[in-house]
Chain A
Amino acid sequence: MKSKSSSATSLDIFLNLLARSWTYLFLVGLLVFFSLTGPGFFTVRNFSNILVASTLVMLMAIGQTFVIITSGIDLSIAFTVGLSSVIGATTMRNLALGGMDIGLAILIGIGAGVLASLIPGLVNGYLVAWVRVPPFIATLGMYGIVRGAAFLLTDGQQVVGGLPQNLRDSLSSIGNGSLIYTVPDIGLVFFSRPADLAPAQLRFTDMLLPYPVIVAALVVLIFGFILGRTQFGRHTYAIGGNQDAAIRAGINVKRHLLMIYVLSAFTASIAGLLHVFRFTAGSPLAGESALLSSVAAVVIGGTNLFGGEGRLSGTVVGALIIATLTTGLVILNIDALWQFIIVGVIIIVAVLVGRVQQALERRQI
C-alpha cells in the first residue's frame, strides 16, 4: 500500500518535471533534428546566426514577460522598436554630418533612442494604471500613435539611411561584430576581425560571441535577476496574482505598473538601437513583424497570459525555439510559412501543458 502510493507520487513528480522542462527538451530536440537533417546546421556560424536572429524577439519578449506577468499586454512595442531606431539613426546621422566625433554621436543617438521610448512607455503606464484603460486597448492605441509618429519622422519612408560611411563602419563593427572570432590557422581572435586575411581564411572565420548576442544576454541576466530575486520582481508577481491584495498590502500598484510599461518600452528600444547597429539604418518597421513572435515566446516559455506566473528563462527558451525553427526550416528548404503553423501548435501545447502542471501541483500536496 505504502509503496504503491509513493510510486504514484514519483510518477507525478516525473510528470511535473516533464511539464516544467518540456520547452527545454523541445528546443534540444529541434537542435538535434535540424543538426541531423539540415546540411550546415550544426556549425558555429549557424548557431551564432540563430542567436543573432533571436535578439530582436528576445529583447521585446523580455519586457513583454514583465507586462504579461502583471496580466497586461504591450502591443505598442511593435513600433516602439521602430521609433527608437528611427530617432537613434537620425540623431547619429545628423550629429555625425554636423562634424561631431563619431563615438560621441553614437552615444547621444543611443540616449535619444532610449529617451524616445520613454514616451510610449509612460503613456501606456499612465493609461493602464491611472485611467484604468485595459492594457490591450491602451497599447493598441499607442501602437497606432507610435507607428504614425515613427513614419512622420521619416516622411513616410521605410528606411532612415544616408548615414555617412565612417559612422556606418563604426556601427557595423559592433552590430555585425563579435567579441571573439575563430579564424582558421590563427585560432581565437578578440574584438575585431583581423585585417588582411586570405579569402579562404575569411570565408571560414566565424563569430563566437557576436556583440548583439552579448547585449541581449546582459539584458536577460539583469532583468532575470530583477524578476526572480528582487522586491520589484516579487511585486510584479503579486500584482498579477491579485491586484487588490497588492494594493491592500500597501504596494504602490500604480507606480509599479507605470514602471512595468516603461521597462517594456526600454527593452524594445534596445532592440531598435541594435537594429541601427546591425543594418546601419533606422526603420519604423524594425519591430513590427516581431510583436506576435515576442508574445509567442513569452507564452511558450510558460508565462500565464492571465498573469501571476512566468519566468524569464522560459521566455529565452521560447525566443530560441522560434529562431531555431526559422533558421532550420530555411536550411531544410521548407517553406518558411510552416514556421507559423509550428509556432501556433507549440503555443497551444504550452497553454495545455501549463494547465496539466497546475493540476499536478495540486495533487502533490
Chain B
Amino acid sequence: MLSTFVDELKGMFPGNQLLTSKAELIPYESDGLTAFKALPRAVVLPEHQSEVIDIVRLCHRYSVPFVPRGSGTSLSGGSLPNTDGIVIGLNRINRILELDAEQRIAVVESGVINKNVSDAAYPYGLYYAPDPSSQAVCTIGGNVAFNAGGAHCLKYGMTSNHVMGIKAVLPDGNVVELGGPSLENVGPDLVGLFVGSEGLFGIALEITLRLLPIPEAYRTVLAAYPSMELAGDAVAAIIASGLLPGAMEIMDNLTIQAVEESVNAGYPIDAGAVLIVELEGELSEVEEEFVNLQEIINKSGAYNVRSARNQLERDLIWKGRKGAFGALGKISPAYIVQDGVVPRNQLGAALAEIDSLSEKYGVRVANVFHAGDGNLHPNVLFDNREEGMLEKAEALAGEIVKMCVRRGGAITGEHGVGMEKRHFMTDMFSDQDINQMLKLTNELDPHGIANSGKMFPVDRMPGI
C-alpha cells in the first residue's frame, strides 16, 4: 500500500521535489527539539498551493500520515516525522501575495518567513507584530500552527491576535477559507480555532495578517539585579503601576554568561538577573511613561541600569535576548526548553522551585523568559551522550510543567504541546475535555493522518 502510494507520489514529483534516500531524509529527522528523532518514508517539497492540496488528497486516499513542516524550529517536536508517513515541507510556498498598506493587510503563503513580512511592510511604515526569537527563520505557517508568541505579546498578543483569515486544506482534502480581510467577523471564530491547531486540522496555505504602524518611539531599558527574585518583583511593580510595556524579559546568570560568551551584548556578567523592559508607542507618551518606569526601576534594587540611546544600542540589548537559546546550545550539548506559564504573582516562587528541582536532579537549568506574561522558559541543559541523562532531563522538565499547572498556570505558553508535552495534557484538562478535542479531530480527519500522534497522550489516540 505504502509503496503504491510512494510510486504515485513519484509520478507527481519526478524531479528533485521528492526526497526518499536516507541521506536526503536525515536533515528532516528532528525539529528544534533534537532529542527526538524519526525518519519519514519520504519528504516532499511542493512549490505551489495546488501541489500541497494534491499531496494531502493522496495521503487521504491512502490513509498515509503526513507531517506539515515549515522551517522545523519547533521546540516541542511538533514537526517530528512519522516513521510510516511523509513530511510535507512548506518552505517553497513562500510568496507574499498581497500587501495592502492602506488597509494594513498582508496576504502571505504559509512558507513565508516571519521577518520577511515586516521587511516587506517596512517601506510603508508598517510591521507584523508577533516576533518569536526565531523570526529570521520560522514560517508564518508554523507560527499559525503553534500560535507562536515572542517578546512583545504583553501589549499586542500572540499570532492569533494578528491573523484575520486562513485558507487551508483540511486532512480530507477539502479546501476552506476562514475569516477574511476585515478585522471583524460574524459567526463562530473559526480562524481563532484553526490557529494553534498544531497541524492536526490540516495545512494552512494562505494567511491574511494584520499589520501595525511601526511605533514612533522606543525606550529600551536593561536593568541588572543581584537576584532573580528582585527582577521578578520589579516586573510585578511595573505591571501594578499601570504601565503597559511592549516587552518585559528576564534572563538568569547562567544565560547571561552564555549570551556574553556567544554574542557579547554587554550584559553585566556578574548579575544574578537582567531585566529588559521596552516601552513603545507615540513619542510623547513613551517619554512620559519612561519617567515613571525609571522611578520604579530605581526603587527596585537594580544595581546597574542602562537605557538604549539609539537604535544600535537597542539592537544590542535585543541581540542578547534573541540569541539566548542559540547561546545556551553552545554551552550544553543538548537542552530541553520548557514553556510553562504561571500567574505573574507566582513568578518568584516558581523560579525558586525550579532552582531546588535543578539541585535535586543535579541538572543545570538556565532561565530566560517572557516575564511580563508569566511565560517561563527553563532550559534544561544536559549531555545526551551520557547514559540516562535524557531521561533525567525529561523527568526534571516534567516536574517543572506540573508545577506550573499546580500554580494555576498552563503547560505551554507559546511553543505548543507537540510531541514533548502531550502527556501533560491530562494535567490541565479533564478526560471529557480531551475527548471533545479528539472528537473534533476525528470529524476533521477521519483517517487520523494530519500530524497524528501529536498533542494528545498516546493511549488516547485511536489507531496509534
B is a partner of A: no
- A interface vs B, CB < 8 Å? none
B residues neighboring A (CB under 8 Å): none
